[in-house]
Amino acid sequence: MVNFEPTDEQRLLQQTLAAFSRETIRPQARPADEADAVPDALVSASWALGLVSDTVPERHGGHGSPRSALTGALMLEELAYGSLGITLHLLAPRLVTIPLVALGTEAQQARWLPRFAGDRFVAGTAALIEPRWDFDPTNLSTRAERAGSDWVIEGHKTFVPLATEAEVFLVYAQTAEGPGAFLVEAGTAGLQVEEREKTMGIKALATYALRLDGVRVPAANRLGGEATSAQPLIDAARVASAAAAVGVARAAFDYAREYAKERKAFGVAIARKQAIAFMLSNMAIEIDAMRLLAWEAAWRLDRGLPATREAWLARQYAADQTLRICDNALQVLGGHGYIRDHLVELFLRDARGFAAIDGLAIV
Amino acid sequence: MIDFELSEAIQQTRRMTHMVAEQMMRPISREYDEREHEKPMEFLETMWNVSKGATMTGGDGGEGERARRDPAERTLGMVVAVEELCWGDVGLYLSIPNPGLGGAAVAAAGTPEQKQRFLARFKEGKPKWGAMAITEPHCGSDTSAITTTAVRDGDHWVLNGTKIFCTSGLMAAEKSDGFVVVWATLDRSAGRAGIRAFVVDAGTPGMHVTKVESKLGIRASDTATIVFEDCRIPLDNILGSPEVKKTSHGFKGAMATFDATRPIVAASAIGVARAALDFVKATLEEQGIAVRYGAPLQRLTALERDVIDMEAQVQAARLLVWRAAWMIDRGLHNNLEASMAKAKAGLVVTQVTQKAVELLGPLGYSRRYLLEKWMRDAKISDIYEGTQQINQLIVARRILGYSSEELR
C-alpha cells in the first residue's frame, strides 16, 4: 500500500544524522575542501554513530540492522547535506560491507566483516570507476580471467576512495558472464596504488588511481561465489548517487533561500521578487521529485524487484537536477556566489560529480 | 513505512479504467476532437450508468462509492483511475457526467444538508453534470478581483455578472439537472474576505449560457460562458458563512477546494503524457530501436536521451501526484504538495507531448495519429485549475514563509 512516510526508526535516524550533519560536518565543509582532507577528529567522532558497524550483522560483531537501501538513501541525503566529500570518506568502508551483506557468502562475511565493526575507523573501498570517457560499469575494461583455482585481474581504475589506507578493496571486473566483484586485500601482489586524483569538487575525499597488474586472488574471493553478477551493486551505487545528490541540492537550495531572504534590492528582500522566488520554488519542486525517484528505486532494491532501469533513471534525473539547482542557487547569490566565502560554489563543484561518476557510495 | 506498491484494490481499479480507456475512449477519441461541440451521448450514458456519478474530485460520492473504495486510499485510487482515463482521452474524461469541480466545492465547503441536497442527484436518474464558475473576462488567477456580485434580497441571493471558461458549463447549467457553483463577492471593498461560492441549480431563471468556446484541445469537453442577470437563488445556497469579516475563513475554505482538485487535474496530465510516451516507445519498438537503459550517457543517441528524460520526468511528476493524493487520504494539509504536483505535471505533459511530436516527425504532426491531439490537449493542464505561474507562486510563498501580501 502506497506510503510516503518513513518508519519511526528511520525518522529518528534522519533526525540524528541531520543534527550531526549540521553541527559537526557542515562547519568542516569549507576547511576540508581547501585542505583536500577530512580531519581525523571528525572521522573518529563519526565512528560512534555506527555508520559502518550498523551494516555489519551481529554475528560478525556489528550492530546488525538489516540491509535497507531505502534507509541508506535517507542517510546519504542527510549526511551529504553537510558535505559530500566528508560524507563519502566517512561511508567509504560501506563500499565493502554493504556488498558483503548483500551478496557475500557466509564465509566471505565471516572473513571480511568483523574488522569493520571494531572501535575505530577502518578503511575499506571499492574500485569501480575506470579512466575512460565512456566508462560503463556494466561493461568494464578491467578483466578477470579464470586461471585454475584463481582469478587474475588486469586493469586500470580511478577515483578509488581512501586507497592508501584501505585494508580491503572490492574490485569490479568484467568476467565472461558480465561484471563481477572481487575482494582483494591491500598489499596483494600486482595491486598498485598510484597518484592521488585531483578533482574539481568532492575534494575532501582522497581518491586514487589504481593499477591491477595480474592481481591473483583465489576463487573464494569472488563476491557471492561463482558467476555472481555485480549488477545489483551497480544499481545500488546509482541509487546512492541519486540520494546523495538530493542532499547536495537541498544544501544549495537552503543556502540560496536564506540568502535571498536577507539580501535586499530596491528596498525589499530579493526573495520577494518573483524572478528569484520562482527559481527557489522550482528548486523545491525538483528536490522533492528527485527524492521520490530515488526512494522508489531504493524501495525496488529492498523488495528484490528489478531496479536497473529505475536506479538509472533516478540517478540520471538527480544528476541533471542537482547540477541545475546548484547553478541556480549560485545565481541567486550573484557575484557573492562566485566567491569562496560562500559555500554555493563548493556545492556546484561537488554536484558536477554526479553527472560524471558513480560508485563512490552504495546503499 | 515508505512503499510504492499500489494496493490490490487500486490495481483492480487501474485495470478496469484502463479497459474503459482503451476500448471505449480511444476508438472515438479522434471523432469527438473533430466534431467539437457534439457529445458522444452513448459513451457518456454508459459511463453514467456504471459510475452513477462517483465523484472525480474526492467529494462525497455516497454509500456506493464508499463501499467500493477503501476510504484510506480514496484519493490515491482516484488519481490512478484519472491517469488511466486520460491516457484514453482527457477531453472525453472531462465530459463524463459527474459533480465535477462544482461537486468538489460542495464537498469541501458545504454543510451535510447541502451535500445531500446537491450531490444526491448524481446517484440517480439521467446523466447530470456539475460545474465551477470562477474565472471572469477580466480576472483569472487573481480571484480576489472577482466582480460578479451576490446581493441579499429577502429570502434570496441575487447574482449578477459574467463567468467564462466553465468546464462542462453548458451541460451543468442547461443540458441536465445539475448545478453550477459560482464565485461572487458579497462586498467588493472587503476583497478576498468578501468572496463566497453559491450553488445555482440548472435552469434557474437569470442564468444563461451565452457562448461555448472553440479551443486548441480538449474539444470533447464544453467550456462555457455563463451570464447571471438578476439570477435569484435561495439563501441557503451559499457555501460557508454569509458574514463578511476580516478574519473570515470563507475565502480560504473556497481556496482549499484546489488542494483537493489539483492532484486530480495533475493526474489527468500524467495520463496524457503517458499516452504520448507510450506511442513513442511503441513506434520505436516497431522500428526495432531499443532504448539502452543504463548505458553510458555519452554512448546514447539523442533520441534515447530524450526518451529516457521523458520517462524520468513523467515518473517524477506521477510520484509527486501520488504523494499529494496520499496526503489527502491521510488527512494532512497538502497545499504546498498539491501545487508542486500541479506545477510539475502541467509542465511535464506540455514538454513531453511537444517533444514526442518532434521525435516522430511527420507521424507526430499528422492527424492520422493521436499524438498531435495529445499535444493540443496537454497545454490546458498547465493553465486550468491554477496556471503554472500561480502554482509556482503558492509554492514560493510556502517555502519562503511569505504571505500573499509579502510575495505578490
Q: Structural domain boundaries of chain B?
A: 8-98, 123-239, 250-400
B60: pLDDT strictly greater than 60: no
**Average predicted confidence (pLDDT) for chain A:** 96
Q: What is the mean pLDDT of residues B255-259?
A: 82
Three-class DSSP category at B234? strand
Q: Tell me, what's the pLDDT at B108?
A: 83
Q: How far is CA B84 from CA A119, A212, B77, B321, in A?
A: 55, 53, 11, 14
Cβ within 8 Å of residue B365, ≥6 positions away: B357, B372
Q: Cβ separation of A134 and B294 shorter than 8 Å?
A: no
Q: What is the mean pLDDT of residues A286-291?
A: 98
Q: Cβ separation of A289 and B320 shorter than 8 Å?
A: yes
Cβ within 8 Å of residue B145, ≥6 positions away: B136, B138, B139
Q: Tell me, what's the pLDDT at B244?
A: 79
Split at pLDDT 50, 70, 90, the class of B59 is: very low
Q: Tell me, what's the pLDDT at B242?
A: 85
Three-class DSSP category at B136? strand
Largest interatomic CA distance in chain A? 77
User: Which DSSP letter does residue A222 get?
Assistant: B
Residues A316 and A313: their CA atoms lie apart, in Å, by: 5
Residues A71 and A9: their CA atoms lie apart, in Å, by: 10
Q: Which residues pair with A143 in a beta bridge?
A: A154, A174
- B324 close to B334: Cβ distance less than 8 angstroms: yes
Would you tell me which residues 292-321 of chain B have a C-beta closer than 8 angstroms to some C-beta of chain A?
A: 293-299, 308-309, 311-313, 315-317, 319-320
- A117 close to A61: Cβ distance less than 8 angstroms: yes
Q: Cβ separation of A313 and B308 shorter than 8 Å?
A: yes
A38: pLDDT strictly greater than 70: yes
Q: Tell me, what's the pLDDT at B58?
A: 41
Q: What is the mean pLDDT of residues B3-29?
A: 97
Has B385 been annotated as catalytic?
yes
Q: What is the mean pLDDT of residues B278-301?
A: 93
**Residue B251 cell numbers, joined:** 475565502
Residues B396 and A75: their CA atoms lie apart, in Å, by: 27
Closest of B261, B14, B253, B223 to residue B129, by C-alpha: B223
Split at pLDDT 50, 70, 90, the class of A71 is: very high
Residues B187 and B179: their CA atoms lie apart, in Å, by: 24
Q: What is the mean pLDDT of residues B308-335?
A: 97
> What ranges make up the beta strands (E) of B148-239?
149-153, 156-167, 179-185, 195-201, 207-212, 223-234, 238-239
Rounded to a whole number of angstroms, the distance from the CA of A268 to the nearest CA of chain B is 10
Split at pLDDT 50, 70, 90, the class of B294 is: confident
- B300 close to B308: Cβ distance less than 8 angstroms: yes
Chain A residue nearest residue B72, CA to CA: A1
- The DSSP secondary structure of B322-390, one letter per residue, reads HHHHHHHHTT---HHHHHHHHHHHHHHHHHHHHHHHHHTHHHHH-TTSSHHHHHHHHGGGGTTTS-HHH
Catalytic option among B73, B286, B385, B405: B385
Q: What is the mean pLDDT of residues A93-98?
A: 98
Q: Cβ separation of A308 and B407 shorter than 8 Å?
A: no
Q: What is the mean pLDDT of residues B258-279?
A: 96
Kindly report, residue by residue over B16-28, the tens digit of the pLDDT: 999 999 999 999 9
Kindly report, residue by residue over B128-152, the tens digit of the pLDDT: 999 999 999 998 888 888 999 999 9
Of A134, A303, A309, the CB nearest to B296: A134
pTM given for the model: 0.95
**Average predicted confidence (pLDDT) for chain B:** 92
**Residue B329 cell numbers, joined:** 487520504
* CB contact A262 to B (< 8 Å): no
- A242 close to A307: Cβ distance less than 8 angstroms: no
- B336 close to B395: Cβ distance less than 8 angstroms: yes
Residue ranges and CATH numbers for the domains of chain A are 8-117 (1.10.540.10), 124-221 (2.40.110.10), 231-356 (1.20.140.10)
Largest interatomic CA distance in chain B? 75
Q: Tell me, what's the pLDDT at B236?
A: 95
Cα dihedral across residues B100, B104, B105, B111: positive or negative: positive
A112: pLDDT strictly greater than 90: yes
One CATH from 2.40.30.170, 2.40.110.10, 3.90.1170.50, 3.40.50.300 for B123-239: 2.40.110.10
Kindly report, residue by residue over A329-353, the tens digit of the pLDDT: 999 999 999 999 999 999 999 999 9
- ipTM surpasses cut 0.90: yes
Q: Tell me, what's the pLDDT at B254?
A: 67
- A312: which chain B residues are within 8 Å (Cβ-Cβ)? 293-294
> What ranges make up the beta strands (E) of B37-155?
130-133, 149-153
Q: How far is CA B90 from CA A37, B56, B312, in A?
A: 56, 13, 22
Chain A residue nearest residue B397, CA to CA: A277
B66: pLDDT strictly greater than 70: no
Residues A352 and B150: their CA atoms lie apart, in Å, by: 57
Q: Cβ separation of A136 and B296 shorter than 8 Å?
A: yes
CB atoms within 10 A of CB A9: 12
Would you tell me which residues 112-141 of chain A have a C-beta closer than 8 angstroms to some C-beta of chain B?
A: 133-136, 138
Split at pLDDT 50, 70, 90, the class of B71 is: confident
Q: How far is CA A325 from CA A55, A93, A255, A260, A311, in A?
A: 32, 30, 11, 15, 21
B63: pLDDT strictly greater than 60: no
Q: What is the mean pLDDT of residues A73-102?
A: 98
Residue found by looking up cell 451576490 in the block: B150
Q: For the ranges A273-277, A319-323, B160-164, B190-194, which has the lowest average pLDDT?
A: B190-194
Q: What is the mean pLDDT of residues B382-402?
A: 96
Kindly report, residue by residue over B101-132, the tens digit of the pLDDT: 899 889 888 899 999 999 999 999 999 999 99
Residues A179 and A312: their CA atoms lie apart, in Å, by: 17
Q: For the ranges A282-286, B106-110, B252-256, B275-279, which has the lowest average pLDDT?
A: B252-256
Residues A182 and A173: their CA atoms lie apart, in Å, by: 8
Residues A261 and A268: their CA atoms lie apart, in Å, by: 9
Top CATH class, B250-400: mainly alpha
Q: What is the mean pLDDT of residues A217-227?
A: 96
**Residue B119 cell numbers, joined:** 450531490
CB atoms within 10 A of CB B346: 27
B64: pLDDT strictly greater than 70: no
Q: Which residues pair with B153 in a beta bridge?
A: B156
Q: Tell me, what's the pLDDT at A357?
A: 86
- B285 close to B303: Cβ distance less than 8 angstroms: no
Q: Tell me, what's the pLDDT at B360?
A: 95
